[in-house]
Structure 1
Amino acid sequence: MDVEGFVRDGHVVIRRAFDADVAAACREVIWSVLESHGIDRADRGTWRAPKVDAACPPGGPFAAAASGAVLVGAIDALIGAGRWQAPIPAHGGTVKFPFEDWPGDTGWHIEGNRWGGEDYWTDARSTGRGLTAFFLFSDVGRNDAPTRLVSGSHLSVPPILAAAGPAGMSGGAVAERLRPSVLHRPVTHATGRAGDVYLLHPFLVHTATWPHTGTTPRMMSQPGIAVPDGFDLDGTDPSPVAEAIVRGLTPTRNR
């Protein structure tokens, strides 16, 4: 795994983090939940919404997808072994269907860690969240409304959050305060095969995209990987997540 690339770009992808058969089993559970909402995999006429959140039961194939040795090793390398909370709650199924209509969830933001009344908030220490993970349960190509990641944007976020003090601010408010040049940096689309997992720095700016012009539903989950106490920013925290935050707080290193 390219740890320095993660510190620089704010994301890394673990290819084949879980097996294709595990991904298929996760899709079966998601479809069973969708069927309870009147959505039939064989009847495209029931695919009436661009996005559906399928609340899947934990455990089973989702637990298998989130506990592979390669994935756990990558998280340990980025956060530190013993610092993050398992199990990873990868059982939430977000499904996007082929649709031209706006799904209502697009907009640049970072993920927040606690509910602030109207949006999720975070602080400079990223209290509560160590990483955001994108679990791909289906193949995702450029036509399947992949999430768009702004490479390197996480380095511009720490000064904004630090200025906000211990309370921090919402993820959407952070993006609004970024210079337009930040959002014009190179982007990466979170595409790949079922079984791939993207690991994102908690401050990486990203957005959902539309329309979905592919032919099959896109199924994924994006759980936060919990670090209850956040990260130390005095230079003593050895984790790559903390290193990136400190680099963002130090203008001479953020180049």
Structure 2
Amino acid sequence: MDSREIEQFERDGYVAVRGAFAPEVAAACRDVIWDALGAQGVTRDPATWTRPVVRVACPEGGPFETAGTAPALWAAYDALIGPGRWAQRRGVGGSVPVRFPSEEFPGDAGWHIEGSYDVDGEYWANVRSRARGLLALFLFNDVGDHDAPTRLAIGSHLAVPPALAPAGDTGMSSDRAMAGVRPSVLCRTVVHATGRAGDVFLCHPFIVHTATWPHRGTTPRMVAQPGIYVGDGFATDGSDPSPVGRAIAAGLSG
């Protein structure tokens, strides 16, 4: 990852790793996801696509191990988080919300940040970004503008640290954090996480984002969205050398 990409990540809150894993690996992942969908009565027959979104846990092993351990990704994690600071995982992880062509509201579209640790059944975050170094979006199939792509608010990650800071290391729910973010953040320029199968978007843990609808494409959209684990998180006083940490400090300094 070059200096231009790192600068973009700190400024905009995301960077795309194009062709992080091979198209044939993505195709093999899709086959396994279809098998998982079959357990919920959803097959390749469009007649079974009766819900706008069906979630499955991201399968393990096989092509998912190949995708999740792609050298380009691990190098990017080192560049954005720091070598030795993130947990190496032999797979992808997270969930795969499979979005089907539909005009129906999916029920999960709304601006939010990701929570990272469980508190009484809610996912919380703190200003150090405990337990999350990045949000990754693994594209297992081609995703275009009409395929319900994830929408990212550019630069919104800089507005979240001041909302989280009053709660200290304890943190707060992601919903409460969003309530503390100034409304103008949602008027920022947006980018859609579109690309080819095998692309991966790496996002700052505090980026404000949303699912989109309707899905007016022709094929189901399969994108995993794991967190990259970092344990205790990042220093917030400007001493953290990582791009993730530097962006948190920049957000706190205004």
TM bracket, shorter-chain basis: over 0.9
After superposition, residues 37-52 of structure 1 pair within 5 angstroms as: 37-41=40-44, 43-52=45-54
Aligned equivalent of 2:63, options 55, 61, 64: 61
Looking at structure 2, the residues matched to 118 and 159 of structure 1 have their Cα atoms a distance apart, in angstroms, of 24
Kept in 1: contact 2:96–2:223 (CA 8 A): yes
Give the structure-1-normalised TM-score: 0.95
Going from structure 1 to structure 2, the CA distance change for 1:56 and 1:12 (only over 3 Å counts) comes to closer
Deviates more, 1:173-182 or 1:93-102: 173-182
Q: Which residue of 1 aligns with 2:199?
A: 196
Q: Which residue of 1 aligns with 2:140?
A: 137
Looking at structure 1, the residues matched to 100 and 133 of structure 2 have their Cα atoms a distance apart, in angstroms, of 30
Post-superposition offset of 1:234? 2.3
Q: State whether structure 2 residue 36 is matched by structure 1 residue 30.
A: no
Kept in 1: contact 2:158–2:248 (CA 8 A): yes
Query: CA RMSD, aligned part only?
Result: 1.2
Q: State whether structure 2 residue 158 is matched by structure 1 residue 158.
A: no
Q: State whether structure 2 residue 6 is matched by structure 1 residue 3.
A: yes
Secondary structure at the residue paired with 1:54? strand
Aligned equivalent of 1:114, options 108, 113, 117: 117
Looking at structure 1, the residues matched to 122 and 43 of structure 2 have their Cα atoms a distance apart, in angstroms, of 33
Aligned equivalent of 1:90, options 66, 89, 92: 92
Q: How many residues align?
A: 250
Deviates more, 1:59-68 or 1:17-26: 59-68
After superposition, residues 230-241 of structure 1 pair within 5 angstroms as: 230-241=233-244
Looking at structure 2, the residues matched to 154 and 128 of structure 1 have their Cα atoms a distance apart, in angstroms, of 17
Counterpart of 1:67 in structure 2: which amino acid?
T
Secondary structure at the residue paired with 2:108? coil
Secondary structure at the residue paired with 1:115? strand
Secondary structure at the residue paired with 2:133? strand
Counterpart of 2:206 in structure 1: which amino acid?
F
Counterpart of 1:81 in structure 2: which amino acid?
P
Instruction: After superposition, give the CA deviation of every residue in 1:99-140 in whole Å (9 maximum; x if it has no partner).
Output: 111111011111011122353101000011000100000111
Q: Which residue of 1 aligns with 2:223?
A: 220
Q: Which residue of 2 aligns with 1:79?
A: 81
Q: Which residue of 2 aligns with 1:244?
A: 247
Going from structure 1 to structure 2, the CA distance change for 1:101 and 1:18 (only over 3 Å counts) comes to same
Kept in 2: contact 1:88–1:223 (CA 8 A): no
Q: State whether structure 2 residue 107 is matched by structure 1 residue 104.
A: yes
Kept in 2: contact 1:160–1:174 (CA 8 A): yes
Over 3 Å off, 4+ runs: none
